[in-house]
């Protein structure tokens, strides 16, 4: 949980860096491209250092096309964040993003979609989501 908390904090910094990169480059798509280029190089270095076992061409062909869409969601997140951060600010943007993540994740968990183990919706989960939504409203409006 501590690692997840640290990564969440890093996302706040990432949003700011991408928004600044957008200002320098003039386009949220170019900021996203820069973000992914640096990230790709970093992951490639990691994989080379860890001597990763690369998948075969047959294994790559066996991946259902829908499973590659994670990259599309990631690119959309980075570009939209670079565009929205200067307009909304860091806290409102991130609480809105987290609110959207929470609502969708509750449905994914409840129904066991996307390969997640089912976690039935219950009063505590609904209360937690409602409190987060109240928090979103308070942060965005004040």
Cα 31-17-77 angle, rounded to 5 deg:
55
pTM: 0.76
Check whether 9 has a pLDDT greater than 90: no
Q: How far apart are CA 1 and CA 6, in angstroms?
A: 9
DSSP H helices, 50-122, are: 57-61, 70-88, 90-111
**Quick one: what percent of the chain has pLDDT higher than 70?**
99
Mean pLDDT in the chain? 91
Amino acid 2: pLDDT: 86
Which of 28, 42, 108, 24 minimizes the C-alpha distance to 75?
Answer: 28
């Amino acid at each position: 949980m501590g690692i997840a908390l640290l990564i969440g904090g890093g996302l706040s910094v990432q949003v700011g860096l991408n928004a600044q990169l957008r200002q320098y480059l003039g386009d949220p798509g170019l900021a996203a491209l820069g973000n992914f280029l640096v990230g790709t190089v970093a992951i490639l270095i990691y994989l080379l250092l860890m001597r990763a076992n690369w998948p075969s061409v047959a294994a790559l062909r066996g991946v259902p096309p829908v499973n590659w869409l994670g990259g599309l969601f990631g690119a959309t997140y980075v570009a939209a964040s670079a565009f929205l951060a200067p307009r909304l600010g860091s806290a409102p943007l991130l609480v809105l993003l987290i609110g959207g993540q929470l609502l969708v994740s509750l449905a994914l968990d409840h129904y066991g979609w996307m390969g997640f183990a089912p976690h039935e919706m219950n009063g505590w989960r609904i209360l937690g989501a409602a409190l987060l939504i109240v928090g979103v409203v308070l942060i965005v409006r004040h």
